[in-house]
Amino acid sequence: MKNVSCIIFDLGGVLVNWHNSWLIDELCQRFRLSKKNLTEEFENNIVSLSTGKINEIEFWHLIGRKIDSYHLENLKDSLYDDIFRRLISINDSVYSLTKKLKEKGMALGILSNTEQVTFS
């Protein structure tokens, strides 16, 4: 077996505690939406957001039209800014592991398909 010289970690759900289901749950409560309908349209359109085909506001407007949500269809400000920043946290056990690996001279990297809006 060859020596490992670099380890790449995923961001969402590995280095940081985050699940899109938290966002969906929050929006269902805030706007009184059907979880089934919101989840379905979220999953149908997340690739367009993740790849930059549409921006976050367009993403929510599109979903709002599909599930007949006035709040989402007329959204003016980011939902990710508020909800993501409030609910995200560092995964302490993985962070501790990365420190140990770094001390041993291991090159570390981060790879993610997390939506660009979460990096603003």
Q: Is the pTM of this model over 0.85?
A: no
- pLDDT at residue 17, rounded to an integer: 87
Longest CA span, the chain: 58
Mean pLDDT, 10 residues at a time, the chain of 120 residues:
82 86 96 98 94 94 98 94 88 94 92 63
pLDDT of residue 26: 95
Report the pLDDT value the prediction gives residue 62, as an integer from 0 to 100: 98
In this prediction, residue 4 carries a pLDDT of: 80
Spatial separation of the C-alpha atoms in residues 95 and 109, rounded to whole Å? 12
pLDDT at 11 (0 to 100): 84
CA-to-CA distance for 107 and 120, rounded, in angstroms?
26
At 118 the pLDDT is: 55
| Token pair 């919101």 in the structure block, residue | 38
